[in-house]
Structure 1
Amino acid sequence: KALVVSPAGSAQVLSALDQATQRGVPVILVDTDAPFDKKVTYIGTDNRKGGQLAAKGLAEAIGGKGEVALIHGVSGNESQDARAQGFLDAVASDYPGIKVVAKQPGNSERALGLTVMENLLTAHPDIKGVFATNDQMALGAMEALEARSLRGKVEIIGFDATKEAVQATVDGRLAGSVAQSPRMMGQRGVEAALAALKGQPVEKRIDTGTELVTAANAAKYLK
């Protein structure tokens, strides 16, 4: 037996993962990493790199200068935290004309993303761009902009490249979204589990890649 798991909140599953390894069950983490040294491997997105890609996309969308904000998921979720930190690091190091004026939690929820965006527009009326660390928050932020007739005035980059977010990108309602490869995560997870059961070596981290989806390349994500 082997355990392939995508932990929603890594801290909550550590004891279960430890119990599995004590029983000789190999543990493979996919999509969301956890601070668990006994895992065979982590397979998924390099979320920090994905956040850096979002910074690049947002910088291009707003012309490399202006005030921007970050709407992030629940703190403590490794994937969400890494996306946010990658974005902040890239802005600080690569885009001197961009200033992050706010960092607000949206808890990966669409309704909260809308509320946070409304508050950001009130507190920072000159804001030019937003990075939301998942598409649900990005879509909520988009709806807040459109309710104030600000479509095209504030650019938004999301993360996950869901069908709805990609269509919104095609329609010019979002600037883009960072795509992951969930199918590859699942496939490589099963392959790693089989290899571990056979005693074969497995890389400690397997990056399944990211791509910035914009109007220029969105069509392939709608197939």
Structure 2
Amino acid sequence: MTLNKRQFITLAGAIGLMAAGAVSPVRAAEKQIVYLSAGLEAPFWRYVSEGVADAAKEHGYSFVALDSRNNAQSQLQNAQDAIVKGASGIVLSPTDSSTAPAVLDLASKANIPVSFAGIGTVSGDYVTFVTSNDEDGAYAVGKELAKAFADKGWTHAKVGLVMISQARQNGVKRTNGFVKAMTEAGHSIVARNEMQLYTADETFRYVQDMLTANPELRGIFVQTDTPTLGATRAVDAMRRAGDTLVAAFDGVPEFITLIKDGSIVASGMQQPYLMGKTAAETVIKKLEGGTPDKQVVLPILTATKDNIDALLPQIKQSVFAGEVK
């Protein structure tokens, strides 16, 4: 092939840029926020993702969500991919707190700021941790369950726990808060299971086993949203409705009806949409030369049959990311 003078100059310039390690003009100009999610199958993380996406859009950034599927190795690969593809900033909801430092180390070496949404880290440098007061929220749910026991005249009730990973700081706090409320009211925890799959079917099996082994079980606390649906289904299947009460944490749209009809006594609802939006805004503030707060603690909405209607306008946006009309 014969090149004319203009083509030769253009090609030579391109070769020179590649030799100097220059990135493409499109990538250099693009501002991008990447959300590394523990598992987007869970509605909670999907709502967080919506918040991150909206904050990115409002500030002129593009947005990508990468799903780690509750696997630490996938999370690390996602972090590497985000860095290679030119992420400006990262919002991280890690698979658990112990896996976060590896991601922080990669991001630090690439000079990419990271903020956390929902789950924190055991070590490492980051911009902001946006969290909820999990311990107080679980304590408030426990108090509502204890009140429901008292209304039925139940004392010294036996209670079961279906827990999120206790390797997560928020999991430990939810357990501690709820156990404190039960202990203060004179009730006892007699059964515990820790989720592996975070599905309704998994919790259905856990609760069936709890009810079979503990026929006098009066209450069950499930520490996250969709698995609670498995708990209510198991209570119905075992014909224990009215004899075994269910309390929950977080929320999915089905909770609105279940709280209204008493199938769920109370749920401590975090505000995942607001959490994701706030975390993304702290990363963007850092990128634009600001100094965000190191920690932001969002309030938990304790929803019960008595207040669900009043809370609904707030819940529809800050909890369910506008999915419920």
TM-score (norm 2): 0.63
- 1:74–1:80 Cα contact (<8 Å) kept: yes
- 1:67–1:127 Cα contact (<8 Å) kept: yes
CA drift of 1:37 comes to 3.3
Matched, 1:102 2:191: yes
- 1:166–1:177 Cα contact (<8 Å) kept: no
What amino acid does structure 2 have at the position aligned with 1:86? G
Residue in structure 2 matching 1:148, options 231, 235, 238:
238
Matched, 1:27 2:117: no
CA–CA distance in structure 1, aligned partners of residues 199 and 240 of structure 2? 21
Percent sequence identity is 25
Go from structure 1 to structure 2 and tell me whether the alpha carbon gap of 1:87 and 1:218 turns closer, same or farther (over 3 Å shift).
same
RMSD: 1.9
- Which residue number in structure 1 is paired with residue 46 of structure 2? none
- Which residue number in structure 2 is paired with residue 132 of structure 1? 222
Note the alpha carbon deviations across 1:39-60, whole angstroms, 9 max, x for none: 1110022222222122112111
CA–CA distance in structure 1, aligned partners of residues 203 and 246 of structure 2? 12
CA–CA distance in structure 1, aligned partners of residues 277 and 165 of structure 2? 27
Matched, 1:188 2:278: yes
CA–CA distance in structure 1, aligned partners of residues 218 and 267 of structure 2? 17
CA–CA distance in structure 1, aligned partners of residues 208 and 113 of structure 2? 46
Count of matched residue pairs: 221
- Which runs of 5 or more residues in structure 2 are unaligned? 1-87, 316-323
- Which runs of 5 or more residues in structure 1 are unaligned? none
- 2:101–2:124 Cα contact (<8 Å) kept: no
Per mean C-alpha deviation after superposition, the further-off stretch among 7-16 and 206-215 is 7-16
- Which residue number in structure 1 is paired with residue 260 of structure 2? 170
CA drift of 1:131 comes to 0.7
- Which residue number in structure 1 is paired with residue 128 of structure 2? 41
CA–CA distance in structure 1, aligned partners of residues 147 and 123 of structure 2? 37
- Which residue number in structure 2 is paired with residue 56 of structure 1? 143
CA–CA distance in structure 2, aligned partners of residues 57 and 161 of structure 1? 16
What is the correspondence of 1:193-212 to structure 2 with a 5 Å cutoff?
193-212=283-302
- 1:58–1:130 Cα contact (<8 Å) kept: no
- 1:128–1:154 Cα contact (<8 Å) kept: yes
- 1:166–1:176 Cα contact (<8 Å) kept: no
- 1:110–1:136 Cα contact (<8 Å) kept: yes
CA drift of 1:167 comes to 1.6
1:212 counterpart SS class? strand
1:103 counterpart SS class? strand
